[in-house]
Amino acid sequence: MTFPNWLGGATRQLKAPSRTPAPRPPLSPGPLEEIAIDARELQMAASSDGRLVWASAAPAGVGRRVALRITGLGTATTFRVTGTTAGSRPKGSTPGMEMEVDEDQRGLVRHVLEHLAGRADMPRVRPPRYRLMWPAVVLLPSGATYMNTVSVSAGGCGLSWRAPRPRIGSVHFVNLGPGRSAVCLRAMVCWIREGQGGVRVGLRFVGGETMRLAAVLEQTRPGAPDE
């Protein structure tokens, strides 16, 4: 099934920008430095401003891309939380490392903490998510609208939203990816966030060419996963 078929011949309604941007390559996520942390340390490290601080004698620095591997949850499951180092902050009387957690990872951190406190089930391990800027055409009630992704995984994507705010739980058809690699997907809105760069919307894929998308990501191999 092709995206024009889903549109029912409505491709004439595409709301293209006034100026067609030149194709841009995928964003490189940069190298991610792996740091292992026990879940009990994470429980002690949580902070309310989207940052984590934990005891560490290692030099922290500023602006390093890191991925925390959270272990010690009583199973073989390991969660990865990505972010950027924000320098050093003492943890009690011990030197500490401070990390600003990526916005789309903070929900996972909260869920893990809720689980550690006995108030939630174990979070599910999600497919790796990559920082990719792919073109996306989203079919909305007002017509099809061009957008760009900020991240992509086999299970969903984050979009830089260029339309009126959608409703959480609403389902839309999406044509996602560059050129001949584009895939047709059915996606549900699962979160909406306001940031410095504007509104971002998270989509969870619920149908369409999901297997093909996974194959495209495998062939693309866009560097280290973002999560």
Q: Model confidence over 22-37: pLDDT tens digits?
A: 444 444 445 578 888 8
- Consecutive H or E run containing 107: helix 106-116
Of residues 213 and 79, more confidence is placed in 213
How sure is the predictor about 5, in pLDDT bands with cuts at 50, 70 and 90? low
Mean local confidence (pLDDT), 52-72 = 82
pLDDT at 126 over 80: no
- pLDDT for the residue 199: 92
Residue 70's nearest CA partner among 227, 191, 225 is 227
Predicted confidence (pLDDT) per residue in 129-179, tens digit: 888 899 999 999 889 999 999 999 888 999 999 999 999 999 999 999 988
Q: What is the pLDDT of residue 35?
A: 87
Answer yes or no: is pLDDT of 180 > 60: yes
Instruction: State the pLDDT at residue 189.
Output: 95
Read off the pLDDT band of 38 (50, 70, 90). Answer: confident
Take residue 76 and report the two structure tokens written for it.
């073989």
**Which is more confident, 218 or 181?**
181
Confidence of residue 3 (pLDDT cuts 50, 70, 90): low
- Write down the pLDDT at residue 12: 40
- More confident site: 194 or 75: 194
* Domains defined along the chain, listed by start: 3-28+131-220 (2.40.10.220), 33-116 (2.40.10.220)
Res 58 pLDDT > 80: no
Enumerate long-range contacts of 8-13, CB under 8 Å, 24 or more apart: 10/139, 10/143, 10/144, 11/144, 13/143, 13/144
Helix extents (H) in 8-105: 39-45
Beta-carbon neighbour count of residue 79 at 10 Å? Answer: 22
> Is residue 52 scored above 90 in pLDDT?
no
